[in-house]
Amino acid sequence: MAFTPESGDALVVVDVQRDFCPGGSLAVPEGDQVVPVINRLAPRFRTVVTTHDSHPSDHSSFERHGGPWPDHCVEGTPGWELHPDLKVDPHHQVFKGRDRETDGYSGWSPELADFLAHRGTTRVVVVGLALDYCVQATALDARAAGHEVLVLTDATRAVNVNPDDGERALDALRAAGVHEDRAEG
């Protein structure tokens, strides 16, 4: 049976951007496979938020500046754009990672918390890329802020820099009281 959103649920779509999909500079394996799932899911929510990894070209997380990652999601480049097949109409957008010295994994912020409170959100449903970084950080921060949080596992994928990073992320989410389900049966 497919997941059914409740009236107080908000969908947070994390970083479904070209650079995180196949062909991108920091591609998540099968990252594009979340797109059709999210497209079917999003219209069923009263509140939809998108997060966007938005780095300056000299971001400290880039390998050429001593960081662990290739250049990715540089604001204004094609890789920064949302996946072209993603069809969501967000009520709010979060741009994270703009500070050169901050990784910006989490899309959670006081501004987002205020926006969701004004929308009457009682549960935060998190999907997107990548499970073991930005999805995990966003879900954990929302949970730490006192929200009920649900991650839909078929609407996210892990980058798995180390084998089983995705499974370790799910273990950490469970330990923090984050629930999991599947968007589709």
> Full-prediction pTM beyond 0.75?
yes
Q: How far apart are CA 29 and CA 73, in angstroms?
A: 17
The per-residue pLDDT for range 98-130, each reduced to its tens digit, is 888 888 899 999 999 999 999 999 999 999 999
- Extract long-range pairs of 165-168: CB within 8 Å, 24+ residues apart: 165/132, 166/131, 166/132, 168/132
Q: Tell me how far apart the alpha carbons of residues 178 and 12 are, in angstroms, rounded to a whole number.
A: 14
CA distance 73 to 99: 13
Domain ranges of the chain: 9-181
Domain 9-181 has CATH 3.40.980.10: no
Q: Residue 153's closest CA among 141, 137, 169, 176?
A: 169
In this prediction, what percent of the chain has a pLDDT beyond 70? 99
In tens, the pLDDT along 135-172 reads 999 999 999 999 999 999 999 999 999 999 999 999 99
Active site residues: 15, 96, 134
Residue 176 confidence (pLDDT): 98
